[in-house]
Structure formats: C-alpha cells, structure tokens
Structure 1
C-alpha cells in the first residue's frame, strides 16, 4: 500500500509541526518574524521571516546547516529532528503529547490516570481506543 500517509515527513512538514506544537507560555504561536530574528541572532547569518515561511511551506527546501541548528535551538529539539526519520518520529510523538496536554480536559484525564493501576490504565486505554474508532467512523459518514 502506498500513499502520502506513508511518505516520510518533509522538511517543511517538520518545521510546520514545530510551529503548530511549540508555543509561547500563553499558548499563542510564535510568528515567523520572531523565530527568524532569534535564528539570525543564534546563527549570525541572514534569516528572514520570508525565508522561514518558504521553508515552512516547502517553497524552499535546502537550508544551511547553521539555519537548521538555529531552528533546532529555538524550538528546543535536537538538530537530528530534521534528518533522522526515527528520531523525528519519536520527537513528533512527544510534541503531539505536549500539544494535547495544553487541552485542559486531556490534562485532567492524564492527572487522574496517574494513580491508576496498570489494569485500570489498560481499561482506560481500551475505552479511548473504542471511542476514537467510533468517532472516526462517524466522521467518515459525514
């Protein structure tokens, strides 16, 4: 089976994911200008908001090593996030978890689950999986 869902993420996908998940403490996203400015300061190289937008949208896809290192530093991920599919997948999962934990309802469930036994956690996991399947089926029927 082939398809876009099986293709490894592109550089632009990885950069976009960082913008989607890594946020200011207030929950607001960082602007291209804000990130570009920090990257200019970190790398000492030219790094404009337009260039960053081009990288994020795939219109440019060949940044310098120093640019990627500056982006990694800003978003607090290892530079290998941009190159190593296995490490990128692991970090993307961690970023997704961080993003989910911003949701007060998810955070409340997670905090309550901390005290459960392994069996209780298994039951909760099974329930979440069943609800997710049901909701996916109902969305497909729309």
Structure 2
C-alpha cells in the first residue's frame, strides 16, 4: 500500500491509512472502519460502509467522490486539501508524523525539555540525534 519507492508521491490509500495511524481517540486507540464509516454516512447522507473505508485504506478502491473525501477530512479534522494538493498534502503529512511522534512519551519529554535551549543548544541536540540515528541505522543494516 505504500508509494512506489523513495521520493514517490503518497497514494490516496497511504494518506488515508496515515490518518488512521496518527489521529487517535482521546484514549490513544485507533478509530475503526465502522466508526469512521458511520460518521461519514451521517455527514454526507450517502452510502459509506466499513468495507468501503477498508477498500480506500488498502488501495483496493480508488477514485472516491469529493463528498466522501470531504467527510473523511471532516472526521479526521484535516483540510480536504490533504487528499488533493500534493505540496500541502505533504506538509500536512509531515505535521501528522510529528503529532504521531509526540504521542511517544519519551519524544514528548525531550521536546518539552528542549524548549528552553538556545538555538545553538538545539543545533547541538539535532546533531547528536542525527549521529545516533546514523549509528543505529548502520547497526540495523550492516553492510
């Protein structure tokens, strides 16, 4: 279901699945297909089944109506442009990734502590994170 490789644009299914993984209930649990379908049916007055939501998420169904995408956007509280505009959609995807990362207590703690650092201090922390990420990537994928 992912895009066709590095640098390839996200598919509609990728974007919808990202919403399900990132925009969670207040308790931290993901929304289910039926719950989303019901809300979208109520918003549009049109047919919108859990199976249809699953098909959109997995890429087995494409080309949904504009009203269906608007209903999904409304449910997940993102602008409809998330689905339509490549540049803005990419920016929103980055923001969603950040929100997803901030759900992790360790990441959130580091981010909150970094708020009081100077720009130079933030640069040092950023350099350290990059170095550790490279080292861990090498350890996961030795040549």
Alignment match, 2:60: 59
SS in 1 for 2:6: helix
TM-score normalised by L of structure 2: 0.95
Q: Quick one: distance in 2 between partners of 1:138 and 1:72? A: 39
Equivalent residues in 2 for 1:65-80, closer than 5 Å: 65-80=66-81
Q: Compute the displacement of 1:7 (Å).
A: 1.3
Alignment match, 2:36: 35
Unaligned regions of 5+ residues in structure 1, if any? none
Alignment match, 1:25: 26
Alignment match, 1:88: 89
Give the superposed CA RMSD: 1.1
Q: Quick one: distance in 1 between partners of 2:138 and 2:92? A: 29
Alignment match, 1:113: 114
Q: Compute the displacement of 1:141 (Å).
A: 2.2
Unaligned regions of 5+ residues in structure 2, if any? none
Q: Compute the displacement of 1:136 (Å).
A: 1.0
Q: Quick one: distance in 1 between partners of 2:141 and 2:43? A: 46
TM-score normalised by L of structure 1: 0.96
1:77-122 deviations in whole A, cap 9, x for unaligned?
1101111111111111110111111111001000100000000000
- The answer to whether residue 75 in structure 2 is matched with residue 98 in structure 1 is no
